[in-house]
Amino acid sequence: MSKYWSETVKRIEPYVPGEQPRDRKYIKLNTNENPYPPSPNAIEAIKRSADETLRLYPDPECDDLREAIACDNGLRKEQVFVGNGSDEVLAFAFIAFFDRGREIVFPDITYTFYPVYAKLFNIKYRLLPLDPEFNIPYEGFFRENGGVIFPNPNAPTSKVLPLAAIEKVLQNNPDSVVIIDEAYIDFGGETSTGFIGRYPNLLIIRTLSKSHSLAGLRVGFALGNEELIEGLNRVKNSINSYTLDRIALAGAAAAITDRDYFLETRAKVIRTREYVVEKLNRMGFSVLDSKANFVFITHPGIPAELLFKKLRERGILVRYFAKPRIDNYLRVSIGSDEDMNCFLDALGEIIKT
C-alpha cells in the first residue's frame, strides 16, 4: 500500500474483470462477449471515420448517436445520454443521483461494480438478500432509501424480474431514483423503457458491448426523463465533455440502425443458449432460468471451483466467483455453436473422470 494513496484509494476494493490471459489460445466463455462479429455496417462506418477529421474533437453532445438510440427506443434525443461504456454511465449515475447521507439498496448477489462505486463515492448501501431460488425479493426495495439499483436480468444469476414487479418498485420509490441496469435485456427480457414517460424516477442503463458485439468500442447509454439526463450531463461536463471519440460514435450509430443484423445475431445466441441448457440438464447440472447471454450452473457432485480449474486446463475459460452462496456455481457465456460443443464435450470428460 503506497503512502501516496488517498484514504479513498486505500479503502476501496477494485472491481476484478474476467481474466484475459495470453499464454495460449483459449475458448473465452468468461466475459459475456458476443461470439459474432459486429454489423458490417458498423465496421464500414468505423473505417470511414478513421480519416483526417480525427485531428478534430468529436461532437460533445453525441447528437447523431443519441438520435439513433432515441429512434430505436421510441424516445426523444433529450431522453438519451451516452458514455464510454455502461460502467462509466453507472459511475456518473452514482454521482448524479445518490447522496452520501442516504442509504441506497441493491441485491446482495449482483454486479460487483455497485459496491465498488458505493465505496469509491462514500455512499452508504444496504444489501437486499436474494431468496433461496436467487430471485430478487423486490418488496425489499419498498423501504425508505436514497436510491435503488439492480440489473435486469440480474448478474451473475441470469434471472429476470417481470415488468409488473419493476413497476411496483417505481411506484413505491417516488422520491428516489431507480436505476435498472439492462446490459443483458436483449437476450430474452422485457425492457422497462415503456415506463419512462410515466415514472420520472426511472433511469435505464444499456450497453452495446453484448447484444451489438461492440465490447471493444466501449459504448453505453442511459434512458430517462430530461431532468435525469441533464443530471448525467452535469457530471459528464465536470469530468470529461468528450466521452466518446469519432470512431466510436460512427460505429455505434451504424450498429444501432442495422436492426436486421442485430435481430439475426441475437436469435443465434438465444438458440444456442437453449440448446446448451438442455444438454447441461441432461448431464445432471442445475441451470438457473436464463434471459441473458450466459448461464449460471452448478453440479450436485463436482465442486464448481474444481470444474473451473479443469476446464481451464483444457483451454476453456468460464467465470468462478468465490463468494458466499454462489461459490458452487459457474457463470458460462454463450459462445458459438462450435465453442459450446467443445465446452460440453470437456464437461462430459470431466464428469466421467
pLDDT digit string (tens) for 159-208? 999 999 999 999 999 999 999 999 999 999 999 999 999 999 999 999 99
Share of the chain above pLDDT 90, in %: 92
Average the pLDDT over 49-74 and give the result.
97
Instruction: Round to whole Å and give the CA distance between 171 and 198.
Output: 10
Say which DSSP state 39 is in.
Answer: P
Distance CA 13, CA 141 (A): 25
- What's the CATH number for 7-37+262-352? 3.90.1150.10
Helix (H, G, I), strand (E, B) or coil at 291: coil
Cα distance between residue 353 and residue 339, in whole Å = 22
**For the chain, what are the domain ranges?**
7-37+262-352, 40-259
User: CATH says 40-259 is which class?
Assistant: alpha beta
pLDDT at 333: 98
Q: What is the pLDDT of residue 353?
A: 79
Question: Using one digit for the tens of pLDDT, what is the confidence trace for 135-160?
Answer: 999 999 999 999 999 999 999 999 99
Strand partners, 105: 126, 148
Write down the pTM of the prediction: 0.95
